Amino acid sequence: MLCIVLVRYAAAELDCSEAVARDPAYLKAFCRRAAARVALKNYEGARGDYNRVLELEPSNRLARTELNALDQV
């Protein structure tokens, strides 16, 4: 997950995709993959990830805030 800090968004997206394939309830991986997808301008993919976060944790404020921001894009 350190890849996102190193601005290697595509690698971060891949790492997170592998993580959620192993654990479909891995909330942090969905959040980080969404952030990487936003950086890569894959807004629909990011929306899907943030929606998945809200399915897993309906009270997640980060996902709600980021979805609202994506609605402005």
Find out whether 27 and 57 touch, Cβ atoms under 8 Å: yes
Find out whether 44 and 33 touch, Cβ atoms under 8 Å: no
- In this structure, what token pair is assigned to residue 46? 């990011």
DSSP alpha helices (H): ranges in 1-73?
A: 9-22, 27-39, 43-56, 61-71
Residue 5 pLDDT: 53
Residue 2 pLDDT: 47
CATH value at residue 43: 1.25.40.10
Residue 7 domain boundaries: 2-71
How many structural domains does the chain have?
A: 1
Please list the pLDDT of the chain residue by residue as tens digits (73 residues): 544 555 688 888 999 999 999 999 999 999 999 999 998 899 999 999 999 999 999 999 999 999 999 988 8
